[in-house]
Amino acid sequence: MKRTDELAGSAPPLPSQEPIRLVDPQGHRVGEAEYLTPEPGTLLALLRAMIIGRRFDRQASALARQGRLAVYPSSHGQEACQVGGVLALADDDWLFPTYRDCVSLVTRGVDPVEVLTLLRGDWHSGYDPEPHRCAPQCTPLATNASHAVGLTYAARRKGQDAAALVLMGDGATSEGDAHEAYNFAAVWNTPVVFLIQNNRWAISVPVDKQTAAPTLAHKAIGYGMRGYNVDGNDAAAVHAVVSHALAEARAGGGPAIVEAQTYRLDPHTNSDDPQRYRDDAEVEYWKARDPLTRLEALLRGEGLLDDAEVERMSAEGERLAADVRERLSGPDRLTPEELFSHVYSTAPAMLRRQRQELLDEMRKG
Amino acid sequence: MAEISLGRALNRALHDALDGDPDVLVYGEDVGALGGVFRVTDGLTATFGEDRCFDSPLAEAGIVGTAIGIAMYGQRPVVEMQFDAFALPAFEQVVSHVAKMRNRTRGRVELPLVIRIPYGGGIGAVEHHADSSEAYFAHTPGLRVVTPATPADGYSMLREAIECPDPVVFLEPKRRYWATADIELPVRTEPMDRAVVRRPGTDVTLIAYGPMVATALEAAEAGQREGRDIEVIDLRSLSPFDEETVTESVRRTGRAVVVHEASTFGGYGAEVAARVTEQCFHYLEAPVLRVGGLDIPYPPPKLESYHLPNADRILDAIDRLQWESEWVPGGTGGQPPLHQTGVGA
């Protein structure tokens, strides 16, 4: 057992009060020696995924307004967090997203229509978690974080070095499950990066009513973890810091909390009224820090991007949006009898009977 | 054959499961060096190492949450909740994720995990150490909720629970941990989701589970001396409910009493009584009665005997099953005197 005075030297450093930034809001590099700015190819991939992700998000919001989705929690403005985090993952790594993280799933390669299944109301999760290593989107806050800890623990037992990225919001950090997950991850030394998208608002409650910590990244210190405070609208910085944290974790350095400072430009969901709780000036401030224009400006300024390339990326986003629109335009194809199919590995007699009763009811009309 | 307690049978089941499948893991609070507060995990760390049986941080939601991730990766965690009321912090994980993972992923992700919970009272424990939470879990679709009443079932059902592709809430009646039986392990009893007739009879069916099976059998023995031929069913599986075994019995006897030690109001017995009434109405000679604990927070240890059903209360209920034609529901005429058998409690 280490004594308290022997521990002092091994504590992780405090996260910086100023977020780590590699590209300023005008698109200029502000190099940080510790975190390597991604290579041009990676920067282009980040921009492409953000352009596609934003187009998808806009399309989903439109579908919600048209009543084709039951609800849509937009992540407009948070693309750098989701794209930067996901593109830092290796193929064998796992993603644990929440309901607001549809863009992360699209970036990971999940069929966008399957991503929207939950929000359309067809089923609770539309995709098979295994092929893309994406857990079902989680609606309760922070409860998915410990799942990631267990999963990576199990992977390590098998001698596999799968790491996990847990997406969570600022509000989720107040939940007891967040604490338990951070603590388990640190004690078990599992390779998990908890990426907190601090978008300033948990529905109507601002982050300063959520925590008294200087930053959410500071929470890492109490668990014996590393904490990073990063500019969440700087895709290069998010990617660099998450990559760094994943590499450290994989090498046995333990889990980390990465807090990304970003902003939810849209309402909490399409049924929320943000005018009741926040003012326009705040929204305008953050609009001027848009993650897409920032990275585009950098790439153009350094001669790595031209109009034709932006056009190609945008066209890809348009094709995806059109495809989503078309595939969601038909009538619902619901199979009510499936309600009984996956409750247990083998349906008990009671469920078999209820299934038959429902089928009879449907037949009668 | 050897005298084996329920606690030792469970220990042996964990031992054999760990021995038979490298994907089985046992963890929780104090399950390692200490062997669990009831010693159910005794010796497992010494035999299989810290990789297979280990102490986790003290955090029930975290224990169940991490078990979900471990099971998602294809392994088989068996976690201990130490005491019934201490499982409540994990309740959200159990209800929102454990029970639903298979369903929400359309059967693509299964969670073969076991959550062991020592439950119930009767051991003189202080507050929060004696609750019966089976109705909360049994109300949740997607969970299998089982409870053994004998050492043989303790061994067999725990092995089966660990092998089961569905998540199982495994409720251990803590006051029966020390109850012994003369058995040879390993043993396989009836399938986990079946009820069994513990004692055949023709006059009335007692439906019990977990800690109350022994009490129901005591009542049946005492009732025999009064000329009542009482059948005792041990449900074993609370969810799914084995309607077939129960229905067959009640249709034969025409009378039924459900017994459990959890508070009666909104309890599991209400579900059983409703189902039996629906399925057996035209065979019933009397309403289905419930004998459960009082509708109070679990009492302090020196008062728990007032709360817990005993053989006398069960026999009193049987007496109220309209054996005498002059008995009037709600009235006092014709009701026989209360039993004082001295058994139970």
DSSP class per residue in B138-186 = HTSTT-EEE---SHHHHHHHHHHHHH-SS-EEEEEEGGGTT-EEEE-SS
- Which residue in chain B has the smallest CA separation from A140? B96
Higher pLDDT, B44 or A3: B44
Chain B contacts of A144, Cβ < 8 Å?
A: 97
Cβ count within 10 A of residue B2: 10
Q: Are A49 and A89 contacting, i.e. CB atoms less than 8 angstroms apart?
A: no
Is position A35 within any domain?
no
Q: What whole-number percentage of chain A has pLDDT above 70?
A: 96
Is position A6 within any domain?
no
Average pLDDT over residues A7-35: 81
Contacts of A69 (CB under 8 A, 6+ apart): A60, A63, A116, A119, A120, A121, A328
Is position A25 within any domain?
no
Same domain, yes or no: A47 and A177: yes
CB contact under 8 A, B244 and A187: no
Q: Are B205 and B257 contacting, i.e. CB atoms less than 8 angstroms apart?
A: yes
Same domain, yes or no: A53 and A143: yes
Q: Which of B152, B154, B171 is nearest to B114 (CA)?
A: B171
B43 touches chain A (CB under 8 A): no
pLDDT at A15 over 90: no
- In terms of average pLDDT, the best of A29-33, B17-21, B322-326 is B17-21
CB contact under 8 A, A147 and B102: no
Same domain, yes or no: A174 and A190: yes
Predicted confidence at residue B35, as pLDDT, reads 97
Residues of the domain holding A353: 335-365
Residue window 179-208, chain B: list those with CB within 8 Å of chain A: 193
E strands in A163-287: 164-169, 192-198, 201-202, 205-206, 226-231, 256-261
Best residue of B48, B93, B106, B164 to probe chain A, by most A CBs closer than 10 Å: B106
Is position A164 within any domain?
yes
State how far the Cα of B197 lies from the Cα of B261, in Å rounded to an integer: 20
Same domain, yes or no: A209 and A342: no
Cβ count within 10 A of residue B336: 13
Is position A5 within any domain?
no
Chain B contacts of A153, Cβ < 8 Å?
A: 66, 69-70
Same domain, yes or no: A157 and A279: yes
Angle at A168 between CA A165 and CA A174, to 5 degrees: 130
Best residue of B103, B113, B164, B235 to probe chain A, by most A CBs closer than 10 Å: B103
The structural domains of chain B, with segments of one domain joined by +, span: 2-183, 196-320
Predicted confidence at residue A331, as pLDDT, reads 86
Longest dimension (CA), chain A: 76
What confidence tens digit (pLDDT) does each residue in B181-227 have? 999 999 999 999 999 999 999 999 999 999 999 999 999 999 999 99
B241 touches chain A (CB under 8 A): yes
- Chain-centroid distance of CA B89 in Å reads 20
Residue A148 phi, psi (nearest 5): -65, -35
Average pLDDT over residues A249-259: 96
pLDDT at B334 over 50: no
> What is the CB-side half-sphere exposure of residue A258 using CA atoms within 13 A?
32
Tokens of residue B309, six digits: 């059903």
Contacts of B126 (CB under 8 A, 6+ apart): B300, B301
- At residue B222, the 3 state secondary structure works out as helix
State how far the Cα of A282 lies from the Cα of A279, in Å rounded to an integer: 6
Chain A contacts of B57, Cβ < 8 Å?
A: 180, 183-184, 187
The β-bridge partners of A138 are A98
CB-closest option in A143, A188, A349 to B97: A143
- Which residue in chain B has the smallest CA separation from A185? B66
Is position A4 within any domain?
no
The pTM (predicted TM-score) of the whole model is 0.95
Distance between first and last Cα of chain A:
70
Average pLDDT over residues A284-310: 97
Tokens of residue A40, six digits: 């041009």
Average pLDDT over residues A267-277: 92
B70 touches chain A (CB under 8 A): yes
Predicted confidence at residue B344, as pLDDT, reads 43
CB contact under 8 A, A180 and B57: yes
Predicted confidence at residue A222, as pLDDT, reads 95
Same domain, yes or no: A352 and A275: no
pLDDT band at B333 (very low <50, low <70, confident <90, very high): very low
B247 touches chain A (CB under 8 A): no
- At residue A92, the 3 state secondary structure works out as coil
The correct answer on CATH 3.40.50.920 for the domain covering B196-320 is: yes
CB contact under 8 A, B92 and A143: yes
pLDDT band at B304 (very low <50, low <70, confident <90, very high): very high
Same domain, yes or no: A70 and A95: yes
To the nearest whole number, what is the mean pLDDT of chain A?
A: 94
In this structure, what DSSP letter does residue A37 have? P
Predicted confidence at residue A270, as pLDDT, reads 87
Is position A227 within any domain?
yes
Residues of A contacting chain B (CB within 8 angstroms): 123-125, 128-130, 135-136, 140, 143-155, 157-158, 176-177, 180-181, 183-184, 187-188, 338, 341-345, 348-350
pLDDT at B338 over 80: no
Residue type, B307: H
CB-closest option in A130, A144, A149 to B108: A130
Tokens of residue B19, six digits: 């021995």
Average pLDDT over residues A49-66: 97
The β-bridge partners of B239 are B145
Predicted confidence at residue A75, as pLDDT, reads 97
pLDDT band at A36 (very low <50, low <70, confident <90, very high): confident
Contacts of A283 (CB under 8 A, 6+ apart): A263, A265
Predicted confidence at residue A70, as pLDDT, reads 93
Pairing mode of beta strands A164-169, A192-198: parallel
State how far the Cα of B64 lies from the Cα of B89, in Å rounded to an integer: 10
> What is the CB-side half-sphere exposure of residue B132 using CA atoms within 13 A?
34
pLDDT at A31 over 60: yes
Average pLDDT over residues B6-14: 98
Residue B279 Cα, gap to closest chain A Cα (Å): 12
CB contact under 8 A, B240 and A348: yes
Chain B contacts of A186, Cβ < 8 Å?
A: none
Same domain, yes or no: A122 and A246: yes
CB-closest option in B65, B110, B144 to A181: B65
ipTM metric: 0.95
Helix axes A291-301, A40-65, angle to 10 degrees: 150
pLDDT at A7 over 60: no
Same domain, yes or no: A122 and A202: yes
CATH code of the domain containing A146: 3.40.50.970
The β-bridge partners of B199 are B232
> Is B339 designated active site?
no
pLDDT band at A293 (very low <50, low <70, confident <90, very high): very high
Pairing mode of beta strands B180-183, B144-146: unpaired
Longest dimension (CA), chain B: 67
Average pLDDT over residues A94-110: 98
Q: Are A236 and A36 contacting, i.e. CB atoms less than 8 angstroms apart?
A: no
The β-bridge partners of B146 are B170, B237
Same domain, yes or no: A298 and A340: no
CB contact under 8 A, B72 and A180: no
Predicted confidence at residue A8, as pLDDT, reads 47
To the nearest whole number, what is the mean pLDDT of chain B?
A: 94
State how far the Cα of B221 lies from the Cα of B283, in Å rounded to an integer: 25
Tokens of residue B120, six digits: 């119930």
Residue type, B152: A
Same domain, yes or no: A48 and A121: yes
State how far the Cα of B322 lies from the Cα of A327, in Å rounded to an integer: 65
Average pLDDT over residues B226-250: 97
CB-closest option in B65, B107, B109 to A150: B65
What confidence tens digit (pLDDT) does each residue in A137-177 have? 999 999 999 999 999 999 999 999 999 999 999 999 999 99
Residue type, A88: A
Burial of B58 (0-12, 13-18, 19+ CB in 10 A): middle
Distances (CA, A) of A94 to A136, A173, A204, A246, B210: 11, 20, 31, 12, 40
What confidence tens digit (pLDDT) does each residue in B110-150 have? 999 999 999 999 999 999 999 999 999 999 999 999 999 99
* CATH code of the region B2-183: 3.40.50.970
Contacts of A222 (CB under 8 A, 6+ apart): none
Contacts of B228 (CB under 8 A, 6+ apart): B201, B203, B204, B318
Average pLDDT over residues A307-315: 98
CB contact under 8 A, B69 and A129: no
Positive or negative: CA dihedral A292, A297, A303, A307: positive
B112 touches chain A (CB under 8 A): no
CB-closest option in A125, A145, A147 to B105: A125
Which listed residue (B15, B129, B260, B339) is catalytic?
B129
Tokens of residue A334, six digits: 């619901």
Positive or negative: CA dihedral B107, A131, A109, A22: positive
- Which residue in chain B has the smallest CA separation from A136? B105
Length of chain B: 345
CB contact under 8 A, A151 and B70: yes
pLDDT at B253 over 90: yes
Tokens of residue B278, six digits: 């629906």
Domains B2-183 and B196-320 share a fold: yes
Residue window 277-336, chain B: list those with CB within 8 Å of chain A: none
Q: Are B246 and B272 contacting, i.e. CB atoms less than 8 angstroms apart?
A: yes
Total count of domains within chain A: 2
Predicted confidence at residue A10, as pLDDT, reads 62
Tokens of residue B193, six digits: 């989701």
Average pLDDT over residues B308-322: 95
State how far the Cα of A211 lies from the Cα of A173, in Å rounded to an integer: 9
Residue B264 Cα, gap to closest chain A Cα (Å): 24
Is position A14 within any domain?
no
- At residue A172, the 3 state secondary structure works out as helix
Same domain, yes or no: A75 and A85: yes
State how far the Cα of A331 lies from the Cα of B58, in Å rounded to an integer: 50
